[in-house]
Amino acid sequence: MFRRLLPLLALLLMAVPAVAQERVLNVYNWSDYIDPEVVASFTRESGIRVRYDVYDSLETLEGRLSAGRSGYDIVVPTSEPTFARLLRAGALRPIDRAAVPNWANLNPTLMERVAAIDPGNRHGAIYLWGTVGLGIRVDRVRAALGDVPFDNLDILLKPENAARLASCGIMVMDSPTDVLPSVLRWLGRDPNSNAADDLRAAEQALMGIRRHVRAIIASSSILDALATGEACVALTYSGDVIQAATRAREAGRGVEVGYVMPREGAQLWFDMMAIPADAPNPEAAQQFINFLLQPDVMAAITNQVRYPNAVPASRPLVNEAVRNDPNVFPSAEALSRSFVAGTPPREAERLRTRLWSRFKAGR
Ligand code: N2P
């Protein structure tokens, strides 16, 4: 009996060092935010296996990371507030530029914008960026509202419009961080205000449409609901809407999805590739960042997820339809009206969280 098991045992022993040597990269990224083929080709090229987890809101990401020992090597927080807060808490590791030669491919003007919170850009490189706006079912909204201009948040936030659209499905992504600034801007207030009366006004605006809102759910579920036609107006991230539009078109069931970038000024955000201070495999993380910063790799990602990147040399390699889509690459004029969220102090953050619970509960 034992004799027969011996060869098996020998085989197992031989396999142990191989397993111990296997290199693993633990990635925690947004959902629907990469071309899976890119991950596969990184593994083929480097021999590093990728364990890939996803989140769909900054609140989820921050909750997971602030406990420490997340076990991740790569995370992708938005520059403000999440990346800024993690940085301040000492939760991010400086990136060794010598290990990331493709850093030179990054657009210096865009990187300058995030240098204000990360002097010298020591802890993060821009992965992708985009705006917050509305995904709409164009025909349904046209039928319900008539010939109004489809270029601002009136569609969602004016109670009379929301009442007309309620039956076809209004949804809002479950993220006070990425929703409140746009509501404040629509009200003509400072999108980054932490003043109690501004936040109260934002709450009133949201409560004014609450009974017409079908769902306040994770951004990943909003993408699905837009693609199937279950949502006819949804406040979410730009590229998610464009991905939903593509899926809806491919499904061929007559669902036509459009993106509305708020004319009053859209929230603009930058998502940063960063390495947690306690990352188990920071060398592999740097290798991965370097891999992603290649122009052809970045072009593949933008083509797939419909968000612009920060590698200008990728631009000629992006499909023409994507390259010329002003919802993917906003015009200079639209950008000049946009704003970037700030980092609310603790007390204001508490007010925002409480306000959001009341909005979700509807009272
Ligand atoms: C991807 C979500 C976009 C990231 N599904 C928002 N910062």
- Pocket-testing residue among 29, 30, 60, ligand 1, by greatest number of atoms within 8 A of Cβ: 30
DSSP element (H, E) containing 8: helix 2-21
What is the structure's pLDDT at 302? 98
What pLDDT sits at residue 146? 95
pLDDT above 90: percentage of residues in the chain: 92
Q: What is the pLDDT of residue 22?
A: 85
Q: 10 Å Cβ neighbour count for 243? A: 22
Mean pLDDT over 322-344 rounds to 96
Expressed in angstroms and rounded, the spacing between residue 190 Cα and the centre of ligand 1 is 23
Map residue 309 onto helix, strand or coil.
strand
Cβ-contact 352, 180 below 8 angstroms:
yes
The ligand 1 atom at the shortest distance from the C-alpha of residue 32 is 5
Cα(361) to centroid(ligand 1), Å = 25
Q: Tell me, what DSSP letter sits at residue 94?
A: P
Taking only Cα atoms into account, the Rg of the chain, rounded to an integer number of angstroms, comes to 22
Say whether pLDDT at 12 is over 50. no
Task: State yes or no: pLDDT of 69 exceeds 50.
Answer: yes
What is the signed CA dihedral for 95, 98, 103, 104, rounded to 10 degrees? Answer: 150
- Amino acid letter, 177: T
Indicate if the pLDDT at residue 290 is higher than 90.
yes
pLDDT digits (tens, 9 = 90+) for 115-141: 999 999 999 999 999 999 999 999 999
Q: What angle do CA 208, 210, 215 make, to 5 degrees?
A: 155
pLDDT digits (tens, 9 = 90+) for 213-265: 999 999 999 999 999 999 999 999 999 999 999 999 999 999 999 999 999 99
List, in sequence order, every residue forming a beta bridge with 30; answer none if it has no partner. 55
Q: How much is the pTM? A: 0.93
What pLDDT, on a 0 to 100 scale, did the predictor assign at position 1?
47
d(CA 285, CA 126): 15
Q: What percent of the chain has pLDDT over 70?
A: 94
Q: What integer is the mean pLDDT of 74-85?
A: 98
Range with lowest mean pLDDT among 17-26, 124-133, 201-210 = 17-26
**Probe ligand 1: pick from 307, 309, 328, max atoms within 8 Å of CB?**
307
The mean predicted confidence, pLDDT, of the chain is 94
Is there an atom of ligand 1 within 6 Å of 30 CB?
Answer: yes
Query: What is the distance in A from the centroid of ligand 1 to the CA of 160?
Result: 30
Q: Which is the closest atom of ligand 1 to the Cα of 271?
A: 7
173 in Cβ contact with 57 (< 8 Å): yes
Out of 177, 178, 240, 243, give the residue to mutate to test ligand 1, the one with the largest number of ligand atoms within 8 Å of its CB.
Answer: 240
pLDDT at 54: 98
Indicate whether 17 pLDDT > 90. no
pLDDT tens-digit profile of 133-183? 999 999 999 999 999 999 999 999 999 999 999 999 999 999 999 999 999
Distance CA 163, CA 183 (A): 18
Indicate if ligand 1 lies below 6 Å from the C-beta of 240: yes
Q: What's the gap in Å between 56 CA and the centre of ligand 1?
A: 7
Cα(78) to centroid(ligand 1), Å: 9
Mean pLDDT of 36-52: 98
The pair of structure tokens assigned to 350 is 């508490």
Provide mean pLDDT across the span 30-42: 98
pLDDT score of 311 more than 80:
yes
Residue 74 pLDDT > 70 = yes
